[in-house]
Amino acid sequence: MTAMPALFLEPPSLPPDTPPALLAALDRAASGPERAAAFLALARHFRGRALALALALAQTALARALEAGAALARRPGLTVEILSVLGGIEATQGRHERAFEHLALALDLAQEHGLRDLESRVFNNRAIVRMSTGDLVGARRDLEGAQALARRAADPVDLGHASVNLAYLENLAGDHAQALHQLNVLEELLASLPDPDRGSLGLYLHENRAHTLLNLAREARERGRPEAEAEARARTRAAIAATRAGLAERPDRLLALLTEAHAARLCLLEGRLSCAEDHALAALDHHTQLGQQSYLDAWLALAEVRAAQGQFGEAQQHYAAALASARAQQRHRETQDILRAVAGLYERQGDLAAALETLREALSGAQLALGRLAQIEGRHDDLARELRQARALAQGWQDSVRRAEDQARQDPLTGLLNRRGLHDALTELAGAGGAPLLLALFDIDDFKSVNDRHSHAVGDAALRAVALRLRAQAPAGSLLVRYGGEEFLLVVPGLPPAGAPALVEELRRAVGAQGWSGLPPGLHLTVSAGYAPAPGAGDQAFRTALEQADEQLYRAKRAGRNRVWPPLPTPVQADPQAGGTGRAARKRGR
């Protein structure tokens, strides 16, 4: 297996409002570990302000840590912190599988070196990812483990983080009294915390208290208890004001988003629709500016406001946006919650058939949620096995981290990128300025007959041989991916469109001309290919180009296999009857 190059080797550009102290620390950093620590500090700073930048900075920190070699060998804790922060940022962006992988690496490294304080932090971060995926049981287990470790270490900061996350979990579970208890525990801890932890955890205290009290107010409304509702609303208003005061000193766009969503819902309870609309739109602005996917509150609050205003079409649109995000992240618990809200919206409009159908969809989603939780636990078992394999082959803990990172991005049979590796590489390309791309899909012709006539072992050998040949001929700087089964995807940045047909044809011929000496006698492999340009590495442009390349591949198959589509244009020939003017003629393969 070949080693993957580290992503984001070139650090991202920093905005003008970067704190001077963080810039000075980066300038002073001379060694690899110092630079890794400086990039980690920057990632933490921008985590609540610009997630894409924070992700790039955390990836740069990890790359610098792994490049440091022996200089970092005595500081595994720094790598644990980087992996933990990176996993937390990925979770906020909705990249849960990658988050789990990095947090598994961090936890394994912390346990191997007895870093109990860092182990507690990793448990905290993993609990947040578990809550996002709907695994409340696993999240509670992680948070109780984090609490126990923090108490043994007499670490009030880690204990405070566990308390605020347990409060959030209790809110999700509907136990608002227990959520308030956890927040009271946190409030007692605040006085013993150093600054800036006291300030940041104080913000989380006020925001989570506003969330909990708002839930109590809504619950009191549903139960017809006006006095309890009025008290909860007044306390919610005070908690929102306290959060705003803290945000004025410590800006955090994510907490600002949640605070605006709470304010919008409070205004709805009070019947102040214009106020609710203003706050919901402010929440959506924070959502857009931050680029996060973990919290759906902005869409949901605005949907509730539009429904209260009688603008049911717009309410449906905002629910649809939240639903699409939840489904894309396989967050089945929240998907069901949104579907129930949509069913209520249909019912208010008198469309009982649509309401019933939506509720049926939510009910069927419950089974998907159970299956998703089983997949999460199974994936944790797979990660543990992969880490054991990486450690067995590694020369040291840094090598273990590198190997595990490689395994996460590579196809184990061919050593090419897998879909995860492709996603990460496209993220890097998009961040580097978005050069146009060529996408080419190659499919081994009649591959099923190779397995049928010979064996699956021979089929595996054939896949490796074709992968090796394509990799040898692929241009420098291109990405080669095993995209599924016997299909390979080539991504070439910056290639002029006019050069695409010749390049893809050259690769097809290279495979067809191979001798295949390592395969059974008489076995000859060819490929068909289809290609299409993409204006950049953005998700929508890439998906559109990939669909076009896939369609061209099937045209090549239908035209007789072992060919490229669109085909190479025929050379320009002189036309005597046109006075020597050249005309290009195209042959269409059949």
Q: Is 201 domain-assigned?
A: yes
Using only C-alpha atoms, the chain has a radius of gyration, in whole angstroms, of: 28
**Residue 17 amino acid letter:** D
247, 272, 297 - which closes a domain? 272
H/E run at residue 49: none
Helices 397-409 & 51-67, crossing angle to 10 degrees? 130
Q: What is the pLDDT of residue 6?
A: 38
Cβ(103)–Cβ(122) below 8 Å: yes
Q: How does pLDDT run across 296-305, given as a tens digit for each residue?
A: 999 999 999 9
Residue, of 234 and 447, whose pLDDT is higher: 234
Residue, of 180 and 406, whose pLDDT is higher: 180
Which of 4-18, 323-337, 358-372, 395-409 has the highest mean predicted lDDT (pLDDT)?
323-337
CATH number of the domain within which 535 lies: 3.30.70.270
Mean pLDDT for the stretch of residues 471-475: 89
Q: What percent of the chain has pLDDT over 70?
A: 83
How do strand 573-574 and strand 582-583 relate by DSSP bridges? antiparallel
Q: What is the pLDDT of residue 407?
A: 58
Mean pLDDT for the stretch of residues 142-159: 91
Res 4 pLDDT > 60:
no
- pTM (whole model) above 0.85: no
Angle at 444 between CA 443 and CA 450, to 5 degrees: 145
Q: How far is CA 504 from the centre of its chain?
A: 31
Record the tokens describing residue 17, joined without a space.
């409002």
249, 272, 295 - which closes a domain? 272
Res 544 pLDDT > 50:
yes
Could you tell me where the beta strands, DSSP code E, fall in 459-581? Answer: 479-484, 487-493, 527-534, 564-565, 573-574
Q: Is 354 domain-assigned?
A: no
HSE, CB side, 13 Å, CA atoms: give it for residue 474. Answer: 24
Least confident segment among 4-13, 237-246, 303-312: 4-13
Res 14 pLDDT > 60:
yes
- CA dist 279 and 214 (Å) reads 15
pLDDT band at 560 (very low <50, low <70, confident <90, very high): confident
Mean pLDDT for the stretch of residues 152-170: 92
Of 88, 108, 107, residue with least CA distance to 98:
88
Coil/strand/helix, residue 180: helix
- Residue range(s) defining the domain that contains residue 233: 155-272
Residue, of 429 and 139, whose pLDDT is higher: 139
Record the tokens describing residue 493, joined without a space.
């940045």
Residues in the chain: 590
The chain-wide mean pLDDT, for the chain, equals 82
Query: Euclidean distance between the first and final Cα of the chain, in Å?
Result: 39
Q: What is the pLDDT of residue 274?
A: 96
- CA dist 276 and 263 (Å) reads 7
DSSP bridge pairs for 90: none
pLDDT band at 378 (very low <50, low <70, confident <90, very high): low
Res 376 pLDDT > 60:
no
Q: Is 280 domain-assigned?
A: no
Q: What is the pLDDT of residue 241?
A: 98
Which of 46-50, 211-215, 324-328 has the highest mean predicted lDDT (pLDDT)?
211-215
Q: Is 92 domain-assigned?
A: no
Q: What is the pLDDT of residue 278?
A: 98
Residue, of 585 and 49, whose pLDDT is higher: 49
Q: What is the pLDDT of residue 588?
A: 34
Looking at the 3D structure of the chain, how many domains does it have? 2
Q: Is 527 domain-assigned?
A: yes
Least confident segment among 12-21, 87-96, 395-404: 395-404
Residue, of 143 and 71, whose pLDDT is higher: 143
Cβ(548)–Cβ(536) below 8 Å: no
Residue, of 425 and 88, whose pLDDT is higher: 88
Q: What percent of the chain has pLDDT over 90?
A: 39
Of 482, 512, 502, 510, residue with least CA distance to 438:
502
Res 232 pLDDT > 50:
yes
Res 569 pLDDT > 60:
yes
272, 291, 317 - which closes a domain? 272
Cβ(439)–Cβ(489) below 8 Å: yes
DSSP-assigned letter for residue 571: P
Q: What is the pLDDT of residue 385?
A: 53
Res 579 pLDDT > 50:
no
Q: How does pLDDT run across 455-470, given as a tens digit for each residue?
A: 778 888 888 889 988 9
Residue ranges in 270-351 assigned as alpha helix (H): 273-290, 297-308, 312-328, 332-348
Burial class (CB in 10 A: 0-12, 13-18, 19+), 337: middle
Q: Is 219 domain-assigned?
A: yes
- CA dist 387 and 462 (Å) reads 29
- CA dist 553 and 542 (Å) reads 16
Residue, of 264 and 569, whose pLDDT is higher: 264
Mean pLDDT for the stretch of residues 506-521: 82
Record the tokens describing residue 233, joined without a space.
């609303």
Mean pLDDT for the stretch of residues 515-541: 81
Q: Is 330 domain-assigned?
A: no
DSSP bridge pairs for 532: 439
Q: Is 444 domain-assigned?
A: yes
